[in-house]
């Protein structure tokens, strides 16, 4: 007894699942799994050391209906120490972070999943869609569609939907916290997988989302600040983050009243994603490249490896030391500041980011 540890890692104990209706499971490919993944962080909930005391084989089974995000929470364990002030109240600590009314009976939850799957529709307006080849599956599908929806708290039912999805911010973004939903000025973009059942009807499954805050920007425009951005683990590293980011960027371009897109305190993985997508967009802009370098050579080849190399060199080289050869274009060095500022405004990219991107482009060009 003395050697048994009664302390468990809360990131290990918490198990998340995105549960699909039976009919939706039938069209999944063999390797498609959306159940049984772990959070990256639980410290906002269970405390800095992410440990729980008083249990053996503790499982915090936290499930969502894959589209509506209706929740189920069940705490199970092999053994528990007699209740005392040191034994953690696992559910009691967790429940204030999710909306009340979550399911605790498995049967009721599974019935809810079946019901929600056929009735759930994304809230808001579809602003972007794309497809990916379907994993080998038993259905007739050759492609899977994905759709990005723009919504605000004004959209009926979205406030409640947001209350169910915001837990992912605490579980996956370092130093992430809940936004103040009483505040005006929030925009959201939510990404869904759209899957066709054998009978041809479509069902929607949550993939990830981003929240954006509107800042007033003198005299009559707003600056949109990307505040939170998450793609759930079963969907990561498949290009979905890039699609969601591109949808946001194109949304900003399409809004006459929005002057630029900024990002709040980006994590390194997100900076990578942002740089790659911004660079791809700039390199594909022929006019910019022609004016910038007086030649199209910079656009000729821009494999990911070269971009990566240029980015790491940018980190290593002091700004003033970058670029010493002459160029015939506006991108220099030295960069024509007025020209660069005009492009930055047209492309609605924040100042610091645009200057970084120009430095990377110069390095790519010098290579
Ligand atoms: N580490 C480093 N770079 C990464 C990572 C990672 N874990 N994930 C993606 N990237 C970069 C890479 O450059 C990648 O290109 P590559 O696949 O050619 O190497 C590029 O992003 C694009 O990858 P995607 O597949 O489009 O990105 P994904 O869909 O995986 O989304 C994201 C990336 C958003 C960081 C996702 O992993 C995630 O949600 N993580 C947890 C939450 C998080 O950190 N969010 C960002 C917080 S910052 C903020 O909210 C402002």
Return d(Cα 165, Cα 69) in angstroms, integer. Answer: 7
DSSP codes of every residue in 236-282? TTSSHHHHHHHHHHHHHHH-TTEEEEEESS--HHHHHHHHHHHHHHH
Q: Which of 264, 271, 286, 359 is catalytic?
A: 264
Mutational test site, ligand 1, from 264, 273, 309, max ligand atoms within 8 Å of CB: 273
Ligand 1 atom 7: residue of nearest CA: 269
Cα 25 to Cα 20, 61, 69, 143, 232, distances in angstroms: 6, 20, 16, 16, 18
Tell me whether residue 264 is one of the annotated catalytic residues.
Answer: yes
CA of 270 to the centre of ligand 1 (A): 5
Strand partners of residue 223: 215, 260
Name 18's bridge partners: 64
Report phi then psi at 111, rounded to 5.
-65, -40
Task: Count CB neighbours of 61 within 10 A.
Answer: 16
Q: Match 């050391």 to its residue by tokens.
A: 49
User: For ligand 1, what atom is nearest to the CA of residue 208?
Assistant: 39
| Tokens matching residue 23 | 């009919």
CA of 272 to the centre of ligand 1 (A): 7
**pLDDT at position 299:** 47
* ipTM, 2 dp: 0.94
- Most informative mutation of 237, 244, 264 for ligand 1 (most atoms within 8 A of CB): 237
Q: Which residues neighbour 169 within 8 Å (Cβ) at sequence distance 6 or greater?
A: 176, 177, 178, 228, 230
Q: What is the pLDDT of residue 2?
A: 58
List the domain boundaries for the chain: 7-116, 122-271, 277-366
Tokens (6 digits) for 280:
């791809």
Index of the ligand 1 atom closest to the CA of residue 237: 25
What is the C-alpha to C-alpha distance for residues 308 and 359, in angstroms, rounded to an integer?
13
Kindly state the DSSP code that residue 103 receives in the 8-state scheme: B
**C-alpha dihedral, 195 to 196 to 198 to 199, nearest 10°:** 140
Pocket lining: 209 vs ligand 1, CB cutoff 6 Å: no
Instruction: Tell the residue number behind the tokens 């130093």, with chain if given.
Output: 175
> So what's the pLDDT on residue 85?
84
304 lines ligand 1 (CB under 6 A): yes
Residue 84 tokens read as 């005392």
Burial letters 196-230, b for 16+ CB under 10 A, else e: bbeeeeebbbbbbbbbbbbeeeeeebbbbbbbbbb
Q: Assess whether the C-beta atom of 276 lies below 6 angstroms from ligand 1.
A: yes
190 and 235 in contact (C-beta within 8 Å)?
no
- Single pTM value for the model: 0.93
Distance 334 CA to ligand 1 centre (A): 32
Q: Residue of the nearest CA to atom 6 in ligand 1?
A: 269
Residues 6+ apart with CB under 8 A from 40: 11, 171, 172, 174
Distance 226 CA to ligand 1 centre (A): 15
In the block, which residue shows the tokens 């969601």? 244
C-alpha to C-alpha distances, 159 to 170, 179, 181, 203, nearest whole angstrom: 18, 12, 8, 21
CATH code for the part of the protein at 7-116: 3.90.360.10
CA of 36 to the centre of ligand 1 (A): 20
Q: Is 311 in the pocket of ligand 1 (CB under 6 A)?
A: no
Cβ 69 vs Cβ 47: under 8 Å? no
Choose which residue among 132, 241, 268, 274 to substitute to test ligand 1 binding: the one with the highest number of ligand atoms within 8 A of its C-beta. Answer: 241
| Per-residue confidence (pLDDT) for residue 216, from 0 to 100 | 87
Domains 7-116 and 122-271 share a fold: no
Nearest 5°: the CA angle 137, 138, 144 is: 45
**pLDDT score, position 218:** 79
**pLDDT value for 138:** 60
Residue-level pLDDT at 303? 53
Per-residue pLDDT of the chain (367 residues; tens, 9 = 90+): 557 899 999 999 999 999 999 999 999 988 899 999 999 999 999 999 999 999 999 999 999 999 999 999 999 999 999 988 899 999 999 999 999 999 999 999 999 999 999 999 999 999 999 999 988 766 667 899 999 999 999 999 999 999 999 999 999 999 999 999 999 899 999 999 999 998 999 999 999 999 999 998 878 899 999 999 999 999 999 999 999 999 999 999 999 999 999 999 999 999 999 999 999 999 999 999 999 998 654 444 455 676 777 777 666 654 444 444 455 789 877 899 999 999 999 999 999 999 999 999 998 887 7
Contact between 189 and 247 under an 8 Å Cβ cutoff? The reply is yes
- Backbone φ and ψ of 86, nearest 5°: -90, -15
CATH top-level class for 122-271? alpha beta
Name the residue at shortest CA distance from atom 2 of ligand 1.
269
Instruction: Evaluate whether 242 touches 276 at the Cβ level (below 8 Å).
Output: yes
């Amino acid at each position: 007894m003395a050697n048994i540890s009664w302390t468990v890692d809360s990131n290990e104990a918490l198990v998340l699942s995105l549960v699909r209706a039976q009919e939706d499971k039938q069209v999944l490919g063999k390797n498609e799994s959306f159940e049984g993944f772990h959070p990256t962080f639980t410290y906002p909930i269970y405390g800095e050391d992410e440990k729980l005391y008083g249990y053996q084989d503790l499982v915090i089974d936290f499930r969502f209906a894959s589209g509506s995000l209706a929740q189920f929470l069940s705490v199970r364990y092999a053994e528990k120490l007699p209740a005392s002030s040191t034994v953690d109240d696992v559910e009691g600590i967790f429940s204030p972070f999710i909306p009340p009314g979550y399911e605790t009976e498995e049967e009721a939850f599974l019935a809810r999943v079946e019901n929600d799957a056929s009735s759930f529709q994304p809230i808001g307006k579809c602003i972007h869609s794309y497809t990916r080849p379907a994993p080998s599956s038993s259905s007739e599908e050759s492609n899977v569609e994905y759709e990005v929806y723009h919504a605000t708290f004004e959209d009926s039912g979205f406030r409640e939907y947001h209350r169910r999805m915001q837990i992912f911010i605490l579980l996956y973004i370092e130093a992430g916290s809940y936004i103040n939903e009483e505040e005006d000025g929030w925009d959201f973009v939510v990404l869904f997988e759209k899957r066709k059942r054998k009978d041809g009807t479509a069902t929607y499954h949550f993939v990830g989302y981003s929240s954006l805050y509107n800042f007033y920007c003198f005299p009559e425009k707003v600056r949109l600040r990307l505040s939170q951005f998450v793609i759930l683990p079963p969907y990561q590293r498949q290009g979905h983050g890039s699609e969601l980011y591109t949808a946001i960027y194109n949304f900003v371009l399409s809004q006459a009243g929005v002057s630029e897109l900024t990002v709040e305190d980006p994590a390194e993985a997100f900076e990578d994603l942002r740089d790659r997508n911004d660079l791809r967009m700039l390199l594909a802009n022929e006019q910019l490249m022609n004016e910038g370098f007086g030649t199209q050579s910079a656009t000729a080849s821009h494999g990911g490896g070269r971009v990566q190399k240029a980015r790491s060199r940018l980190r290593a080289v002091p700004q003033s030391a970058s670029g010493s050869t002459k160029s015939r274009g506006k991108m220099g060095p030295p960069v024509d500041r007025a020209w660069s500022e005009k492009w930055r405004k047209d492309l609605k990219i924040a100042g610091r980011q645009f200057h970084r991107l120009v430095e990377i482009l110069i390095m790519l060009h010098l290579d």
